[in-house]
Structure 1
Amino acid sequence: MTQDTAILLIDLQQEDGFPLPRFDNVIKNAAALIDCARSRNLPLFYTRHVNDALGRDLAFGEPVDAQGRPTTYRAGTPAIEIIDALAPQAGDVVIDKQRYSAFHGTHLAQTLKDQGIKRLVVAGVLTDVCVMSSLFDAYQHDFQLVLLADACTATTLSAHYSALFILSNWLYGLEIFSVEQLLRSWNNQPATSVLSAEPDHLAHEPEAFVQTIARFERELAAQR
């Protein structure tokens, strides 16, 4: 871990329109990450998904109510605010976005590069939507990437793991940690991760999905 590293926290907001399994654990793990990052003076970047309150410039097909207002992440409502337990502090950067990716229509990439950031440690929700979109865009911007599997979740665990496998299969150099293992590595202790070094390394047939999840979790938890 070097001083060209930043933390990117995706859409950890109060919006409650989606039931999220393991979300309490995600909050706890993200809080541990944030605390450690602050102690090491690593910059923190938060994103918020914010839809215009009147429904202007929404993504095609964005759900709206009878008045044409977005039904989720509506500007001016508590739903868009960061969860209290993870709230930004003075000096943190908060990026508002209107699309899934943290990089689409924002100045995030240039802001990171202006600060000399080369490596992003990513957590947040939803794994299969905004997290995945942001990671693919970050990869195209040539950032080195770390993803924290237990500081992310999706509306179902199958969607969460499917996204993790897709990302690990195709973002070369992506390293997936648990928060505990990442913090161990930052403390120069033995730690384990899943590193994407070759294409499609987690390929499996549908009937092997559960077994692949188990193998993936064993690799994340194993001590080296």
Structure 2
Amino acid sequence: MTTITERPQTALVVIDVQNGVVEEAHLRDEVVATVHDLVERARREHVPVVWVQHDDDWLTRGSDAWQIVPELAPDAAEPLVAKHYGDAFEETSLESVLAGLEVGRLVVVGAETDACVRSTLHGAFVRGYDVTLVADGHTTGDKSPWGAPTPAEVIAHTNMYWGDQDAPGRTAAVARANDVDFAP
């Protein structure tokens, strides 16, 4: 149970599913389809969907690379959080958005697994949130030419270790998209 007891709601947080981030990502089309299906399900179940969109020198605000992929369409009423760092909580409005929605539990999808997804998972957890990572709802590009594990290994490792996280009053979980429960 979340340590943020006055916030009983769950939100789906979609991290950086932007053209320039996922254009060459591992299983890009499958992951984007999974995210799409979860977004639609969250909307049907009246679960808030919060979009996170990165910009920096490489991913310039307003550019085609910066745009959310065309398969996903944020609703005008859904919050969009701009970020400049890996952790979507760092110097952003994410915390105030979640507080306004009375959210204490996050279901996380997006990109990149080994950067912004991991950073945000940990950022949420240390702030007291319960955090579920969608096992088949995150991806990353191939950084193995620079010595990193392959994308499949990065994703598998993240899924493995996130389910084993533990802290007082909080839960970390990993669930496949079909098994995600948005209920508080």
Q: TM-score, normalised by structure 1?
A: 0.68
- Tell me the CA shift for residue 111 of structure 1: 2.0
Name 2:88's counterpart in structure 1: 102
Unpaired segments ≥5 residues, structure 1: 52-69, 188-224
Amino acid at match of 2:159: L
Alignment of 1:1-224 (within 5 A): 4-15=9-20, 19-51=24-56, 70=57, 72-155=58-141, 156-172=151-167, 173-182=171-180, 185=181
Q: Name the structure, 1 or 2, with higher relative contact order (CA <8 Å, separation 6+).
A: 2
- Identity among equivalent positions (%) equals 25
Closer, same or farther: CA 118–17 of 1 in aligned 2, 3 Å: closer
Amino acid at match of 1:175: A
- Tell me the CA shift for residue 154 of structure 1: 1.7
Name 2:4's counterpart in structure 1: none
Amino acid at match of 2:76: A
Number of residue pairs aligned between Structure 1 and Structure 2: 165
- Tell me the CA shift for residue 174 of structure 1: 1.0
Amino acid at match of 1:121: V
Amino acid at match of 2:102: G
Amino acid at match of 2:36: A
The answer on whether the counterparts of 1:10 and 1:122 sit within 8 Å (CA) in structure 2 is: yes
- Tell me the CA shift for residue 86 of structure 1: 1.1
Q: Deviations over 1:168-197 (max 9, x none)?
A: 333552111111122xx469xxxxxxxxxx
The answer on whether the counterparts of 2:11 and 2:103 sit within 8 Å (CA) in structure 1 is: yes
Unpaired segments ≥5 residues, structure 2: 1-6, 142-150
Give the distance between the partners of 1:171 and 1:26, measured in 2 at CA. 27
Name 1:213's counterpart in structure 2: none
Higher share of residues assigned strand: 2
Runs of 4 or more, structure 1, over 4 Å off, are none
Q: What is the aligned-residue RMSD (CA, Å)? A: 2.0
The answer on whether the counterparts of 1:127 and 1:164 sit within 8 Å (CA) in structure 2 is: no
- Tell me the CA shift for residue 3 of structure 1: 6.5
The answer on whether the counterparts of 2:59 and 2:65 sit within 8 Å (CA) in structure 1 is: yes
